[in-house]
Structure 1
Amino acid sequence: MTDSASLDQASQPLQLRNFYLARQPLLDRNQALFGYELLFRNTPANAAEIDSGLAATADVLAHAAQLGLPRAIGDATAFLNVDTEVLMSDIFSFLPRDRTVIELVGSVEASEQVLWRLAELSGHGFRFAAEAGAHGNRLGRLLPLLDFVKVDLRTMPVVTLLGLVPRLRGTGKRLIAEKVESQAEYRTCLDLGFDYFQGFYFARPSVIAGRKLSPSQLAVVDLMTLVTSDADNREVERAIKRDVTLSINLLRIVNTPAAGLRQRIDSLGQALLVLGRRQLQRWLQIMLYAEPQVHGNVRGHANSPLLMLASTRARLLELLAQRLRPGQPRVADIAFTVGIMSLMDALFCVPMADLVEQIPVSEEVANALLHRRGFFGELLRLAESIEQMEDGASMMPALHELADSGDDLVELEMAAFEWSDKVVRYAL
């Protein structure tokens, strides 16, 4: 990384615990968040030694439980992959049984011992999931003890899918379409009768030719431009007051616990004085995702997963930048902006190249958003790699740029998850 915000020699190295947490959302038929599949990946200094399997799952789960699993999932349900060894262990005493689904990987046999263990854990309130294709003929023996059946769209031919799904629906199990990567795939699975949808299809831009920002969105963008200019506070306040809905929403969102304020903000003038321009710009960026009916949906449904992902990504980039460039708030602010803007093409159904023309951004932000270049581009690529559950080997180039060794990347992730959960909980 070689631009003006590159890591200098005086910066402290980013500390990486020997694993990081990948979190992939599962949405229901109303596009509301239901749960997350959680995967833990090892990140040793030597990429050749990376083990992306389940050998250390029990130790990692114990570690995650000590960190506080609810911090990673909020009010959602956690889907955790286990093999036979972990299934037979006593690790489950660490986990919140009412919000944990134990997902059996393909190597788990439908032996009498395994079936007995599933029945035992079911009696304690745990639920189970398995992927149909991975278990093949064994699925029939496991099925009575399963609550969820997953279908991997990447490994299941369409012809097979059309025959399998009706049969599975007849068993009364909840069906999860896994690796849904586009809106078209989501609509197909919705028509087939799937209950849940796993993947980042909601974050994929469905570009509509000639699409422009709505008047309400333009009002927020214009205000963002005004806030970053030399306009005085009275001019900014007058601009906000001209839009009553904007005023109400802004006051609501700046009073969320995520803002971290010790006093309640009751007026726009007070918001400007207490927050300052930098923080006000942040909440305006978040407000774009909290706009009702951006996609013609009810507030709190279609937008919440995208807001959750964007705010998590923005906060993680900010925390990474703070660690790498301590004492330089401008760098952290830019990192947050890159994170929050990186999903606006999906939000507005407009190509990113068009957005950076409509929303004034610096060259370093544009390079990060359009080309994943520079310091901020590296941070963004790292965040995206984590989200996509890529193994450590594919992430190591970015990791080596960020740090030599350490022990708390997962803690930064947890902090980002918590902060985002507060934003979504109160912003929508």
Structure 2
Amino acid sequence: MTDDQSLRNAFLFRQPILNRQQELAGYQLSFRSSATTTDSGPVATAALCAAYSELGMQSALGNHCAFIAIDADFLHQEAIELLPPASVVLELLLDGVADKATLTRCQSLRARGYALALTDYRGIDDRSRPLLPMVEVIKIDLVAAEAGQLRDLAGSLRKLPIKLLAQGVTSREQMEHCRNLGFELFQGRYFAQAEIVRGRRLSASQAALIRLVNLVGRDVETALIEDAFKHEPALTLNLLRVVNSVGCRGSRLAQPVTSLRHAITLFGRRQLQRWLSLLLLAPSHAADPSRSPLLQVAALRGRMMELLIELGPPGNHRHLGDLAFITGILSMMPIALSLPIEEILEQIAVEREVRSALCEHGGLLGNILALLECFDNDDAPGCDQLLSALPGHFDHLTLNTCLSVALRWLNGGSE
């Protein structure tokens, strides 16, 4: 199978990797089709190399690193050097003790600026000992390591200049336990898990944001929105800062904006509603809300929904496109607010198509939302089933390309 065929016949999945501050530090990238249960091997790795050139993944990921699994065979191929050293971490998939040629190749890649990671760490033994001076990251799989063993594995590396990465983190409790043991990186979607509590009271800041979202979404006079902002000085300051830094439609402003009414007009109702909705997903204690992984997943999902609507059959693209982004954002609200979606929609006014998509995966918006939920959960069979049911000519490459374009947009590109 050629690299291009790999891009067309498998899904480019990503698993977020967070740092100790619970900010996005990178992604584990993998290719997988519904016909395979593993993403390793020369074909999958070659496809990831192709993704960098054909999908523009280097610019799409911005400052975030991509963790890519490299088996012993592909380690020696020249194609690996097509990957940008500053943007990737090469994960060594080595079953046994590395031979002299493998160690020499690792030293060569390290000299070229590549960061190396050792997977499936089981303690300091003949397999790991010669590699420890060359690797920057050690991955420990929480599924494979027993509870009592985890402390010993982390302790054996405490004095070495190596970052520990906990793989397969499924809950915040697991993350906290690993952080207390000295882990610095955490792989998994545990941040997107939440206990839904019916009737839960929203915080004052959340309630204020929802009031503003509703006001902006309705056809009310700007004076009413301005008055609501005046009761939220922190939000007003943030809005002025955002508009001054971004300007009107992305262009720099000739003069700073100091009037709240002027800022609302320049920003536009649609962009203002998006911005306020995204703020609902950011933790209140975050120094930089834009680095919240939940917010980034929501924004990425919203942008991908927009792109897929645009690529669909001719019709009411403009109307559904306007609704697609907000649908993607709202789909993550139950996690951020710990409330059922039905209770959230009692407080946020949405159009009928959005409600149907969120509550029952109804209509085209609902089908695309279901597809992206499978995509986020690395569910290749589910993605295949939903792709085949969508109207139009959607395939694996369509989804992979939309991911790259959306990531580039998320990281400040022009897409």
- TM-score normalized by the length of structure 1: 0.82
Q: Could you say if the C-alpha distance between residues 232 and 301 of structure 1 is closer, same or farther in structure 2, counting changes exceeding 3 Å?
A: closer
Q: Could you say if the C-alpha distance between residues 65 and 230 of structure 1 is closer, same or farther in structure 2, counting changes exceeding 3 Å?
A: closer
Asked if 1:63 is matched to 2:50, the reply is yes
Asked if 1:278 is matched to 2:270, the reply is yes
Contact 1:25–1:33 (CA under 8 A) maintained in structure 2: yes
What displacement does 1:143 show? 3.0
Structure-2 residue corresponding to 1:6: none
Structure-1 residue corresponding to 2:411: 421
Asked if 1:202 is matched to 2:184, the reply is no
Determine which of 110, 115, 133 is the counterpart of 1:144. Answer: 133
Q: Could you say if the C-alpha distance between residues 302 and 205 of structure 1 is closer, same or farther in structure 2, counting changes exceeding 3 Å?
A: farther
Separation of aligned partners in 1, 2:274 and 2:290: 21
Structure-2 residue corresponding to 1:41: 32
Q: Could you say if the C-alpha distance between residues 308 and 49 of structure 1 is closer, same or farther in structure 2, counting changes exceeding 3 Å?
A: closer
AA in 2 matched with 1:78? A
3-state secondary structure, aligned to 2:66: strand
Contact 1:84–1:108 (CA under 8 A) maintained in structure 2: no
Contact 1:20–1:410 (CA under 8 A) maintained in structure 2: yes
Asked if 1:213 is matched to 2:236, the reply is no
Separation of aligned partners in 2, 1:34 and 1:105: 21
Q: Could you say if the C-alpha distance between residues 232 and 195 of structure 1 is closer, same or farther in structure 2, counting changes exceeding 3 Å?
A: same
What displacement does 1:211 show? 3.6
Asked if 1:117 is matched to 2:105, the reply is yes
Structure-2 residue corresponding to 1:80: 68
What displacement does 1:182 show? 0.9
Separation of aligned partners in 1, 2:112 and 2:135: 14
3-state secondary structure, aligned to 1:30: coil
Q: How does 1:373-412 map to 2 (within 5 A)?
A: 373-390=362-379, 392-402=380-390, 403-404=392-393, 407-412=397-402
Asked if 1:174 is matched to 2:166, the reply is no
- Note the aligned Cα RMSD (angstroms): 3.0
AA in 2 matched with 1:401? A
3-state secondary structure, aligned to 1:213: coil
Determine which of 12, 17, 42 is the counterpart of 1:21. Answer: 12
Contact 2:387–2:394 (CA under 8 A) maintained in structure 1: no
Separation of aligned partners in 1, 2:241 and 2:405: 22
3-state secondary structure, aligned to 1:92: helix
Q: Could you say if the C-alpha distance between residues 228 and 128 of structure 1 is closer, same or farther in structure 2, counting changes exceeding 3 Å?
A: same
- TM-score normalized by the length of structure 2: 0.85
Separation of aligned partners in 2, 1:175 and 1:301: 25
What displacement does 1:249 show? 1.6
3-state secondary structure, aligned to 2:128: helix
Separation of aligned partners in 1, 2:95 and 2:229: 58
Structure-1 residue corresponding to 2:214: 225
3-state secondary structure, aligned to 1:40: strand
Separation of aligned partners in 1, 2:25 and 2:340: 29
AA in 2 matched with 1:311? A
Q: How does 1:83-94 map to 2 (within 5 A)?
A: 83-94=71-82
AA in 1 matched with 2:405? A
3-state secondary structure, aligned to 1:234: helix
Separation of aligned partners in 2, 1:331 and 1:255: 30
Q: Could you say if the C-alpha distance between residues 367 and 273 of structure 1 is closer, same or farther in structure 2, counting changes exceeding 3 Å?
A: same
Please, which runs of 5 or more residues in structure 1 have no aligned partner?
Answer: 1-15, 424-428
AA in 1 matched with 2:337? F
Contact 1:148–1:174 (CA under 8 A) maintained in structure 2: yes
3-state secondary structure, aligned to 2:324: helix
Structure-2 residue corresponding to 1:32: 23
Separation of aligned partners in 2, 1:131 and 1:275: 47
Determine which of 135, 143, 152 is the counterpart of 1:154. Answer: 143
Contact 2:166–2:187 (CA under 8 A) maintained in structure 1: yes
How many pairs does the alignment contain? 399
Please, which runs of 5 or more residues in structure 2 have no aligned partner?
Answer: 1-6
Contact 2:138–2:164 (CA under 8 A) maintained in structure 1: yes
What displacement does 1:330 show? 2.1
Separation of aligned partners in 1, 2:100 and 2:248: 53
Contact 1:105–1:134 (CA under 8 A) maintained in structure 2: no
AA in 2 matched with 1:279? Q
Give CA deviations for 1:147-191 in whole Å, capped at 9, x if unaligned: 211111122221222332212334442110011111111111112
3-state secondary structure, aligned to 2:133: helix
What displacement does 1:109 show? 5.5
AA in 2 matched with 1:413? L
Structure-1 residue corresponding to 2:179: 190
